[in-house]
Amino acid sequence: MTKKKKRSLSTKKRQGNKPFEFNQAAPNRYIAHFYRKCTIGQFLKIILETKPEDYGCIVIFDSKDRPLDSYHYKNSQLTHDFTNENIDEKTIQFAFGNGSGTSMDYTLTVS
């Protein structure tokens, strides 16, 4: 009979109250793991609040890879918002990050 390994922290404790976290997939490449539904509005709020020194671009695509929206951010503020439609309530299906240090770009796909 094999013994089950005890985990030091449960998934729920590790994730806290976050709807997602990014895990490194390759050098300077990250993929999001979603714990629950996350909208564009929630994603923007979390990135701006938790990454105060970061800057970059967030590009949003629909499920057919058509660009819907683009944001530029720096020092916890949106600096450019190229909104084509109201997408704050759209649910994110996939999210990828690219960058290092304080420069991070995100690519999001919504349903």
One digit per residue, pLDDT tens: the chain, 111 residues? 555 544 444 444 555 688 999 999 999 999 999 999 999 999 999 999 998 899 999 999 999 999 988 999 999 998 877 766 678 889 999 999 999 888 999 999 998
Torsion of CA 48, 50, 52, 56, to 10 degrees: -50
φ, ψ at 33 (rounded to 5°): -110, 120
